[in-house]
Amino acid sequence: MNTTIMLFLIQDGITNGAIYALLGLALVLVFAVTRVILIPQGEFVTYGALTYASLSAGQMPGTARLAVAMGAVAFFLDLMAARRSLGFRLVARAVAVNVVLPAIVLALAMWSAAHRAGVAVNIALSLAIVAAVGVFLYRIAFQPLAHTSVLVLLIASVGCHLAMQGLGLLFFGAEGQRGPPIMDAAFSAGSLRFTGQSLSVYAITVAFIIGLWLLFGFTLYGKALRATAVNRLGARLAGIRTSLSGQIAFLLASLIGAISGILIVPITTLYYDTGFLIGLKGFIAAIIGGLMSYPLTAVAALLVGTVEAFSSFYASNFKEVIVFTLLIPVLLLRSLAAPAVEEEKD
Amino acid sequence: MAARLPVVIFALVMAAIPHLPHMPPFWIVLLDNIGLSALVAMGLVLLTGVGGLTSFGQAAFCGFGAYTTAVLTTVYGISPWLTLPASLMVSGIAAVLLGLVTVRLSGHYLPLGTIAWGLGLFYLFGKLEFLGRNDGISGIPPLAIGSLKMIDPGTIYYAIWFSVLACALLTMNLLDSRTGRAIRALRRGHIAAEAFGVQTPRAKLIVFIYAAVLAGLSGWLYAHFQRAANPTPFGAQAGIEYLFVAVVGGAGYVWGGVLGAAIVVILKEVLQSYLPYLLHGEGQLETIVFGILLVGLLQLAPAGVWPWLMSWLPRQPDRKRPDTSLALPARARTAGLPNVLLQIEHARKQFGGVIAVNDVSFDVGVREIVALIGPNGAGKSTTFNLITGVLTASGGAISVLGKKLANAPPQEVVKLGISRTFQHVKLVPDMSVLENVAIGAHLRGNAGALASMRQIERVGLSDQIDQPAGSLSLGQQRIVEIARALCVDPMLLLLDEPAAGLRHMEKQRLAALLRQLRDGGMSVLLVEHDMGFVMDLADRVVVLDFGTKIAEGTPAAIKTDPEVIKAYLGAAA
């Protein structure tokens, strides 16, 4: 092995790792607030990436219609939940959030697909579509289950993953797609080549880590989210709307997923089911971070990315085996280091 | 035998199904698959639903079972019946190795750890040369009894469903046993279970191995049913699906595993065969519908379909009662006991910079009720935790009958005849009062149910004996904890705020009971805030404030002690 290969592998690992870090952060966020282990995170990645690719290719993505359909269901659920105290404001809000907003996004997507709008518009639209799907997903699937155990939430989460992956195949077909790069610029430093794309991966990851840290550390909404995570009942008694916290968490997670997808779709071809494995690696990073710590998750993600890059170079046959078994010693160390006394949780 | 009647009927119905006229072979195959899946799910019910240890890796254990028999029968030509023990052993040994590593993981790390090795093993199955890589191993011989070869789905059906029924009975018996109660106590945390002598790591490992062996059995049957083994059915996807089965059916119920298997297998099959006709659609329509139905089902019945169905039954099944006429061996009490039962010398506990217990010394004599009082945060419960081994002391010595405890773990302390209750009640809410109390008799062998009946009568909760502990009032739950502690047949009873939440009459009954216990030769150390209760009952009172002992003496002396009054009411008073 020479230094060039090593540097190249490290660079590759860091780029992948940065994506895993973003996803890991989203998983930590959602778990902390809602106790849901978000398996469909991978679908947010593919939906974001393939929606962006479809729009760029002048096609109408099916995800926009999905958002409208889910909005309709959410609207119905909102009305059902509030059927004893229906007021004008409540109905108006439900209509605006669940019906009007996704309809506008759908109209814009149709217009954009027909007129081949620029990269920026397509990115914004893709984010809006996936964010809507994310928020409605929480409203429809998880909000009615919010009181149940982590295990039940996890199984529901797997159910959502199956349904969304199936829908992904329906919308985007079995063919892989690539999207246009966000930035074409590139420069070289020594033997390494930096593309604008990989640099924007780094920049956005760092921005998100800092952003989340600021959000949770210094804003009232962030603190409300954390309070929900620690004690649902207590948070409700203090006037925090826990269902809103859940929706915000899913909004952020779906945005992060979609951004990750848009960042990688110019680098690698994405298929409707690629997201799952990518999400899983973000998951590993999140676990190493203990589903608690954001900085640790980011560091762990870089580690996972680098290990993956090196093992795919040396033992590509056993790449997945190595990445997944990496987890066991880490888990063991973590659980020995902090033998948390966990009592009375269910 | 009335309790077994539904099982017998179920067995007869299952045996009759293949003989029904016009039974399509397709449904027999489906039933075979349900049985295979139910075996794994049953293990998960015990592991996840009952023991609280979520595992995504069960499919890998099926893989161990299937590959073991595949290699042994095809390469070495060994009879399938001889490979059965080998398959079970390999699954079991794999479970011991993986379990030793992963069962120690706490909280959420455990399920994640199982995903990790589940995926790792799946990729490994597909990469190893002697397991045939991704193509797997084919040409596995069928099971055979004499000249009867179980080739078609209708004959292996009997082998599969015999296994399901046998394992279901075995699992239910296990759950109803002493080990079973220890396993059921795991889900609510380990402190209470350990305080009564349950070796929680070992109990966890036992369920882990049991579940793996059931999965191995399913894998062995699968290999001889399909007559081939490849990695796909043993991957993470399958592992997740088994968890589906258990959760949908009702993760806490053995029959929930069977019902869940039926629901999931039939649902998938129906969707796969009929949906394309209905909607002329392409792609994975069935996974979409399956996913949506799954979420819907969970919203309808979050605890699973089995308990949901059972709640519609008009009559709840009777519970059996132990024979109370039998005698129980009592603890051998050393003749001529020394006067001091428990001696605490300069006990000290530091949490970082906080000194919770600071050089506290006091004794508890034989046949004595000692009360430990002090304002909130005085270190009373910490002292309890030091005595019972829940926390390790930072310094000092605690001895029982002159023998130093030297930071013995809770399981050892209880063997010395010291049992306790908890300030925050630690019962398993969905177990009956009788079952909860029986955990207290864990160290007394199989006489647990009998001992607990007696103690429940003694504390006056006979009417509530079959109710789930969680349905009782907080005060009654405290009494249940006392009954559980009494099951140890202790020399020293440690009660942490036993009177909190009790009504006046109940307090008087409790005081009378404690006096009676003392007169019977037991010592009591209690933490309590109700001064009327303490001063009336205790022989001696020890007062703590900010981790330091500030007074000790008879109730009358303590009431007038200026230091105590200052601690409780402030300097100005």
Question: pLDDT by residue (tens digit) across B305-356?
Answer: 888 888 887 665 555 565 555 566 666 555 556 678 888 888 888 887 888 8
Which residue in chain A has the smallest CA separation from B429?
A: A344
Q: CB-CB: which of A328, A336, A346 is closest to B113?
A: A328
**A333 contacts on B by Cβ (under 8 Å):** none
Q: How is residue B318 annotated by DSSP? A: P
pLDDT of residue A236: 83
Cβ-defined contact of B120 to A321 (cutoff 8 Å): yes
Cβ-defined contact of A328 to B116 (cutoff 8 Å): yes
Cβ-defined contact of A331 to B109 (cutoff 8 Å): yes
| CA A278-A280-A283 angle, 5° bins | 115
Which residue in chain A has the smallest CA separation from B188?
A: A344
Q: 3-class DSSP state for residue A277? A: helix
Low-confidence residues of chain A: pLDDT under 50? 339-346
Residues 54-93 of A with CB under 8 A from B: none
Instruction: Scan for tokens 């995570």, then name that residue.
Output: A229
pLDDT of residue B545: 87
Q: Please give the Cα distance from B403 to B342 (Å, whole number).
A: 9
Instruction: Please give, rounded to a whole number of angstroms, the shortest distance from the CA of B338 to a CA of chain A.
Output: 37
Give how far Cα A267 sits from Cα of A179, A259, A262, A304, B313, Å. Answer: 8, 13, 10, 19, 59
pLDDT of residue A298: 81
Partner B contacted by A169 (CB < 8 A): yes
pLDDT of residue A134: 95
**A340 found inside a domain:** no
Q: Please give the Cα distance from B66 to B39 (Å, whole number).
A: 14
Partner A contacted by B123 (CB < 8 A): yes
Instruction: Give the residue from B470, B409, B483, B496 showing the smallest Cα distance to B439.
Output: B483
pLDDT of residue A220: 85
Q: Which residues contact B342 (CB under 8 A, 6 or more apart)?
A: B363, B364, B387, B398, B399, B400, B418, B492, B523, B525
Among positive and negative, which fits the CA dihedral A256, A259, A261, A263? negative
pLDDT of residue B487: 87
Q: What is the pLDDT along chain B (573 residues), one digit of tens a residue?
A: 456 788 888 888 888 888 888 888 888 899 999 999 999 999 999 988 888 888 888 999 999 999 999 999 988 888 888 999 999 999 999 999 888 877 777 666 777 778 778 888 888 888 888 887 888 888 888 888 877 777 788 788 899 999 999 999 999 888 888 888 888 888 777 788 888 888 888 888 899 999 999 999 999 999 999 888 888 888 878 888 898 899 888 888 889 999 999 999 998 888 888 777 766 656 567 788 888 988 998 888 888 888 888 888 766 555 556 555 556 666 655 555 667 888 888 888 888 788 888 888 888 888 889 999 888 888 888 888 888 888 888 888 888 887 888 778 888 888 888 899 988 888 888 888 888 888 888 887 766 677 788 888 888 888 888 888 888 888 888 889 989 998 888 889 999 888 888 888 888 888 998 998 888 888 999 998 888 888 888 999 999 888 888 888 888 888 888 888 888 877 654
Instruction: Please give, rounded to a whole number of angstroms, the shortest distance from the CA of A184 to a CA of chain B.
Output: 36
Instruction: Please give, rounded to a whole number of angstroms, the shortest distance from the CA of B528 to a CA of chain A.
Output: 23
pLDDT of residue A338: 54
**A143 contacts on B by Cβ (under 8 Å):** none
Count of Cβ atoms closer than 10 Å to residue B138 Cβ: 13
| Count of pairs with CB atoms under 8 A, one residue in A, one in B | 146
Partner B contacted by A164 (CB < 8 A): yes
Q: Which residues contact B539 (CB under 8 A, 6 or more apart)?
A: B368, B369, B370, B554
Q: CB-CB: which of A145, A324, A343 is closest to B298?
A: A145
Give how far Cα A216 sits from Cα of A213, A278, A285, A294, Å. Answer: 5, 26, 20, 11
Partner B contacted by A328 (CB < 8 A): yes
Give how far Cα B95 sits from Cα of A206, B92, B99, B214, B390, Å. Answer: 41, 5, 5, 11, 29
Q: Which residues pair with B364 in a beta bridge?
A: B342
Phi and psi, residue A240, nearest 5°:
-85, 130
Cβ-defined contact of A163 to B299 (cutoff 8 Å): no
What range defines the domain where residue A319 resides? 3-175+183-335
pLDDT of residue B108: 66
Partner B contacted by A162 (CB < 8 A): yes
Q: Which residues pair with B389 in a beta bridge?
A: none
Q: Which residues pair with B249 in a beta bridge?
A: none
pLDDT of residue A340: 46
Cβ atoms of B93 and B87 within 8 Å: the answer is no
Q: Please give the Cα distance from A37 to A286 (Å, whole number).
A: 10
Partner A contacted by B191 (CB < 8 A): yes
Q: CB-CB: which of A164, A332, A343 is closest to B104?
A: A332
Which residue in chain B has the smallest CA separation from A148?
A: B302
**B288 contacts on A by Cβ (under 8 Å):** 162-163, 166-167, 170
Partner B contacted by A317 (CB < 8 A): yes
Cβ-defined contact of A342 to B106 (cutoff 8 Å): yes
**A344 found inside a domain:** no
pLDDT of residue A342: 43
For B477-502, the three-class secondary structure string (H helix, E strand, C coil) is HHHHHHHHHHCCCCCEEEEECCCCCC
Give how far Cα B155 sits from Cα of B15, B70, B143, B266, Å. Answer: 11, 20, 10, 20
Instruction: Please give, rounded to a whole number of angstroms, the shortest distance from the CA of B128 to a CA of chain A.
Output: 10
Cβ-defined contact of A151 to B54 (cutoff 8 Å): yes
Q: Please give the Cα distance from A306 to A23 (Å, whole number).
A: 16
**B294 contacts on A by Cβ (under 8 Å):** 155-156, 158-159, 162
Cβ atoms of B245 and B256 within 8 Å: the answer is no
**B113 contacts on A by Cβ (under 8 Å):** 327-328, 331
First to last CA, chain A: 51
**A156 contacts on B by Cβ (under 8 Å):** 294-295, 298-299
**A215 found inside a domain:** yes
Q: Please give the Cα distance from B89 to B306 (Å, whole number).
A: 32
pLDDT of residue B214: 95
Chosen for mutation from B112, B426, B474 (greatest number of chain A CBs closer than 10 Å) is B112
**A345 contacts on B by Cβ (under 8 Å):** 189
Q: 3-class DSSP state for residue B28? A: helix
Q: Please give the Cα distance from B277 to B205 (Å, whole number).
A: 48
Which residue in chain B has the smallest CA separation from A138?
A: B295
Cβ-defined contact of A145 to B299 (cutoff 8 Å): yes
pLDDT of residue A337: 63
Partner A contacted by B189 (CB < 8 A): yes
Q: Please give the Cα distance from A65 to A43 (Å, whole number).
A: 16
pLDDT of residue B322: 59
Instruction: Scan for tokens 């009177």, then name that residue.
Output: B499
Helices (H), chain A: 3-34, 41-56, 62-81, 88-95, 101-115, 119-137, 150-172, 196-218, 220-230, 232-237, 242-264, 274-288, 294-314, 319-325, 327-337
Q: Please give the Cα distance from B513 to B494 (Å, whole number).
A: 14
Q: Please give the Cα distance from B293 to B288 (Å, whole number).
A: 9
Phi and psi, residue B490, nearest 5°:
-80, 160
Partner A contacted by B295 (CB < 8 A): yes
Q: 3-class DSSP state for residue B344? A: strand
pLDDT of residue B319: 58
**A164 contacts on B by Cβ (under 8 Å):** 291
Cβ atoms of A291 and A61 within 8 Å: the answer is no
- Chain-centroid distance of CA A22 in Å reads 8
Residues 55-114 of B with CB under 8 A from A: 101-102, 104-109, 111-113
Phi and psi, residue B351, nearest 5°:
-110, 100
**A51 found inside a domain:** yes
Q: CB-CB: which of A155, A161, A162 is closest to B247?
A: A155
Cβ-defined contact of A163 to B291 (cutoff 8 Å): yes
Instruction: Please give, rounded to a whole number of angstroms, the shortest distance from the CA of A262 to a CA of chain B.
Output: 24
Q: CB-CB: which of B105, B188, B191 is closest to A331?
A: B105
Instruction: Please give, rounded to a whole number of angstroms, the shortest distance from the CA of B142 to a CA of chain A.
Output: 32
Which residue in chain B has the smallest CA separation from A335?
A: B105
Cβ-defined contact of B127 to A343 (cutoff 8 Å): no
Domain count, chain A: 1
Cβ atoms of A17 and A303 within 8 Å: the answer is yes
Residues 403-422 of B with CB under 8 A from A: none
Q: CB-CB: which of B101, B191, B298 is closest to A156?
A: B298
pLDDT of residue A345: 42
